[in-house]
Amino acid sequence: MGKIVIITLDEAEEHVLNKILDSIEAEKIQFVDISPAPVLSLSNLSLYPHECKVEVNGQELTLGPRQFALLYLLARNVGRIFTKEQIYYQVWNESTAINVDETIRYHVSEIRKKLEQIYGYDCIETVWGIGYRFKHDK
C-alpha cells in the first residue's frame, strides 16, 4: 500500500527536499502540487484567501480572520443562502455555540460597515428568516 508524505518547508530548507528527492529518484513518486487558492475576483472586489486580504477598487480593506472567512465563504458561493448556523460551523469550525445569532449578526454588520466605507455597496444580503447570501449585482 502506498504512503502519502506531506512536507512543508520554507525556502531556506529547500535543500532538504532536494536531498530526499535525490535519494529516491529511481522510485515511482506521485507529486501533488498544492498551490495557493486562486484570487476570487468579483467586479471591483478581490479576495486573497492565503493572505486574508480584501481589495475593493484597488484599495485594501482590513478585516479580521473570521470576518475574512465569512466574506470569503459567501463570496465564493454567490447567490447561495447560508443559515447563521452553517456560517458559524464553516467559519468557526464548531458545531455548537452560544449566541450564534448575535455573533453572526455582529460580524456581518462589521463587514458591511467596512465595505460601505470603501465600496459604497452592501454585497451581503439578509434573507429574512433564513440567513445571508452574497449578492453580485454591482
Q: Where are the domains of the chain?
A: 40-134
CATH of region 40-134, choose from 3.40.50.300, 3.20.20.210, 1.10.630.10, 1.10.10.10: 1.10.10.10
At 87 the pLDDT is 94
Mean pLDDT of the chain: 84
At 11 the pLDDT is 72
pTM over 0.75: no
Give the pLDDT band of residue 36 (cuts 50, 70, 90): low
What type of residue is 95? S
pLDDT tens sequence across 111-138? 999 988 887 878 899 999 999 999 876 5
pLDDT more than 90, % of the chain: 43
More confident residue, 94 or 48: 48
3-state DSSP call for residue 75? helix
Cα separation, 67 vs 63, whole angstroms: 6
Find the mean pLDDT for residues 19-37.
64
Q: Rounded to the nearest 10 degrees, what angle do helices 84-92 and 100-119 cross at?
A: 80
Give the pLDDT band of residue 15 (cuts 50, 70, 90): confident
Geometric angle at alpha carbon 136, from 112 and 68, rounded to 5°: 45
At 30 the pLDDT is 60
Residue 69: partners with Cβ closer than 8 Å, 6 or more residues away: 52, 90, 91
Give the pLDDT band of residue 50 (cuts 50, 70, 90): confident
